[in-house]
Amino acid sequence: MRTFLSWFTSIFLNSIALLIVDQLFESFYIENFKTALLASIILSILNFIVRPILILLTLPITVMTLGLFILVINAITLMLAQKLMGNAFVIDGFGIALLASILISLISLILHKLIGDTAKQSK
């Protein structure tokens, strides 16, 4: 039960991060919160299945770039998610996907820290 709650919290916070990035860039569009929630679920599945394969296939370049190529893999994963979503989730170009993936990660990290700190204080 705790694992499901943790996964759902992560999906919810990633949805909020997607909506924040949507507000920051005109070339990053998400229709509504329901779409952001679905996009977060798709991203979660892609991160579980596709991302490890991409990391394994690009291991030499990832090592040569000291791990910075992971940012490109994150952008590719984000582009795959938007392709699966159709017109409800649109990213205009790889550059914005790269920048958006970095911001989504940072915003999500901050939101997780805020929620984690609140949960610890309530105990």
Tens place of pLDDT per residue across the chain (123 aa) = 668 888 899 999 999 999 999 999 999 999 999 999 999 999 999 999 999 999 999 999 999 999 999 999 999 999 999 999 999 999 999 999 999 999 999 999 999 999 875 444 444
Tokens of 92: 């205009």
> In this structure, what is the dihedral angle of CA atoms 70, 110, 95, 19, given to the nearest 10 degrees?
130
Q: Contact, 106 vs 16, CB < 8 A?
A: no
CA distances from 37 to 93, 111, 122 (A): 22, 16, 27
Q: 81: how many CB neighbours lie within 10 A of its CB?
A: 24
DSSP 8-state code for residue 28: E
CA distances from 53 to 31, 76, 84, 106, 117 (A): 30, 12, 18, 23, 33
CA distances from 42 to 35, 48, 51, 76, 118 (A): 10, 10, 12, 13, 27
- The pTM of this model reads 0.87
